[in-house]
Amino acid sequence: MTIHLPARPALIRRTALLVFTVAVLAWAAVTEQAAAAPRVALVVGVSAYKNAAALPNTLNDANGVGAALKRLGFQVQTVLDPDRATLEASVRRFGDAARGAEAAVFFYAGHALEVAGRNWLLPASMQLKETRDLRFEALDVDSLLEQTDGSARVTLLFLDSCRDNPFQKRLTTGGRGIERGGMGQVSAGAGTLVAFATAPGTVASDGDGPDSPFTTALLRHIETPGLEVRQMLSLVRRDVRQATRGMQVPWENSALEGEFFFKPGVVPASQQPARAPSIDADLLFWQSVKDSTEASDFEAYLARFPSGTFSDLAKRRVAAASRASPPPGTSTVAAVAPPPAAAPFFDTLQKRVAVLAPNITRVSERLGSYLQERTHKAFAVSNEPPGTWRVSSAQTTRAAAISALESCQIRWGGACTLAAVDDGLADMDTSDWVRQVAQEVGYAGPFDPARMPIAETRRTGNDVAGYRALTGPKAMAIHPWRRIFVAGGASQREAEIAALKACNDDPVRLGKDGPCFLYATAGEVVLVQRKTVPIAEATPANPAPTPPAQSPSPSIGSTAAAQPPAVANAAVASPETQLRALFSAIGHDGGVVTSYMKLGAHRALAVQVESGRTFTWSRAASDAAAERSALEACQLRYGTPCVLFARDDTVTTTDLKTAPHRDMARVTQARAYAADDVPFALPRQAQDRANYAAAVSPKAMAIHVPKGVFWATGSTSAEAQAKAFAACNDVDSLYPCFLYAIDDRVVLAQRMTEVKR
């Protein structure tokens, strides 16, 4: 039975109004509660480590970030130089405060490291004797994430860490050794973003300013209105990469669900990122490995970007590199032996190279690598000086052949001969190619993009177009890797210095395959001069260094011929002033000069003038020994011959245009091992060097600048090398060790930093 009640409009309207009012009040209550949700932050800076050198700017980093977060409405807990107990208590308070918060931000500046897949933050009290001390001396990042997991709507961790690891030597024992400096990957839970100052497993810079490059960029953008956090990190990544010339690239792991703004509002158009950060990271990673021949480099790319822009190409490179790599325990010959089908061609090509350039070493290895390259490819040789160059994956056979010839001629300085093209001998008529190479590499005249060598894909590129459009002083540097760099400056000399420095600091090449050369200065091509240093005359805006005085009393071990010539104003400038003028002339501040002048005799200062990097040697047996050791160490560490700036208190360079780059034979020449003929030999290691000579093979020796030599024997050559590297790399240094000798043969010229199979 249905009962019909009379309609009562007033009651219905009142009921509807009541329901609407309740809904509005409920929405207002929820909104008020959301607005009232706090934003909390824990900021930690550690500088005064009790068992390691102090970090210069971590406290500045922490104070700057803490102040910015307070301006953004965060409740900030700032902790400076905490011990283990204080750091843990601060994290627990942070976890409590994060419950129900709109956002929880953790910022850390200080040392951090990874051991056996776990990441640790190091408080000021950190003291390690063995790996198991970490649990009691450091704070596990996972425990920090546990404190904030699901507590706040958004959790953001900024780790300005991954700096040089002062505890690595103590933690490289057993099976839980440091696999790499700095921190590894961190898995972010839902609603969490973890931002690193640099890519996983690499080292971040402290910078030259009051804050680190990462914190400087973070503070520049964190208070920009309307900038979503992932867009902000894209801008931070760009700034840090530019500030460090590509040597440091911030990274992040994100599991955010939705957007987060430190400061809501409208982002200025000038602050909009040029492209998505994932594309930036993908491209940058690919550029860093694309010229590698190691399968592991491309596997690392695929692990980071399994569906990346270059993933298909990376997979093909892995397959090709794997085919070229020998299985463990095989000999060098087996490692480079061609496939059976290619063996006849391999033998024929090897004989051809022996005729064209009989002094080239490691021919089998070089040709084996060539045969594994992808078409279109070419192989060129230089007889004097002996050297080779190969090009692969070119667009056409002609492009590969011309590029190989041009790169070979630029790298080695003499005429090169084409030995092979693709999988056959270069028996076709190549006179046209050779003539074109000679014309372009040997060209000197007004800058013309159409005359540029090794640059078919670059002639219409931004660098070339940018050079033509650049007004005022300008210069272009070139490297045989088919890479060019353009720069301007207040003077022509400054422009040349900047172009050469950018080219030699190329983060993709990492110093491989020799120095860069000036290609053009102002509007003229000068490649034929093969200059690796500036050639422009000094101007008042960039004055020449003051000529040094003739030393009144030559240092012991020196000769009159080695002294710089006397000049009229010899008494005007002190040696320190003269050295600072020299560094100014190459575009560097010469901060090393003060330290050098305080060193004890006998000492020497060597400089890689193209980059301004230096090496000093002191307390040698004589000033001649100091000079030799400084030049050898400088060349080994930086890969190119260096210039001697000073010996004791005598400035030895008066004119950078004519200053000799001293190519040190003991660094570059292959020879039989002799205990008394090791570069920058330390007196305390005399017995070690003698013991190596007497030891039976298999044996190997590694060398470190400036820690000296480390050697070992083994059941195989590979085992001996691995032991020598392990002992050598177990030193507190950011620089690698090089393989010095295998059995009784010096192999330092090959600059190997890992086991040669």
**What does the pLDDT look like over 398-412, one tens digit per residue?**
878 888 888 888 888
Sign of the C-alpha dihedral, residues 452, 457, 463, 466?
positive
pTM above 0.75, yes or no: no
SS3 call for 94:
helix
Q: How far is Cα 441 from Cα 405, in angstroms, rounded to an integer? A: 10
- Element (H or E) spanning 521, and its range? strand 517-521
The pLDDT, as a whole number, for residue 511 is 75
Structural domains in the chain?
34-268 (3.40.50.1460), 275-324 (no CATH), 332-441 (no CATH), 449-529 (no CATH), 560-665 (no CATH), 669-750 (no CATH)
Torsion of CA 12, 18, 20, 22, to 10 degrees: -150
SS3 call for 731:
coil
Distant-in-sequence, close-in-space partners of 5: CB < 8 Å, separation ≥ 6: none
Q: 470 phi and psi, to 5 degrees?
A: -70, 130
The pLDDT, as a whole number, for residue 187 is 52
Q: How far is Cα 379 from Cα 368, in angstroms, rounded to an integer? A: 11
Tokens linked to 349:
């090509």
Q: 475 phi and psi, to 5 degrees?
A: -150, 160
**Low-confidence stretches of the chain (pLDDT beneath 70):** 1-36, 115-117, 162-189, 199-209, 245-246, 266-285, 287-297, 300, 303-304, 307, 319-343, 427-436, 438, 454-463, 465-466, 507-510, 537-572, 589, 731-734, 757
CA 323 from centroid of its chain's CA atoms: 28
Distant-in-sequence, close-in-space partners of 36: CB < 8 Å, separation ≥ 6: none
The pLDDT, as a whole number, for residue 713 is 92
The pLDDT, as a whole number, for residue 484 is 84
Q: 66 phi and psi, to 5 degrees?
A: -60, -45
The pLDDT, as a whole number, for residue 404 is 86
Omega before 200 within 30 of 0, i.e. cis: no
Sign of the C-alpha dihedral, residues 293, 294, 300, 306?
positive
Residue-averaged pLDDT of the chain: 75
Closest CA to 437 of 477, 463, 401: 401
Q: What would you report as the CA-atom Rg of the chain, rounded to the nearest whole angstrom?
A: 31
SS3 call for 710:
strand
Instruction: Give the strand pairing for 192-196 and 154-160.
Output: parallel
The pLDDT, as a whole number, for residue 336 is 43
What residues pair up with 488 in beta bridges, in sequence order? 474
The pLDDT, as a whole number, for residue 568 is 33
The pLDDT, as a whole number, for residue 27 is 40
Closest CA to 90 of 100, 76, 77: 77
N- to C-terminal Cα distance for the chain? 96
The pLDDT, as a whole number, for residue 276 is 39
The pLDDT, as a whole number, for residue 740 is 93
Closest CA to 669 of 748, 753, 752: 748
Instruction: Give the strand pairing for 483-488 and 517-521.
Output: unpaired
Tokens linked to 172:
């490289």
The pLDDT, as a whole number, for residue 172 is 44
The residue type found at 312 is D
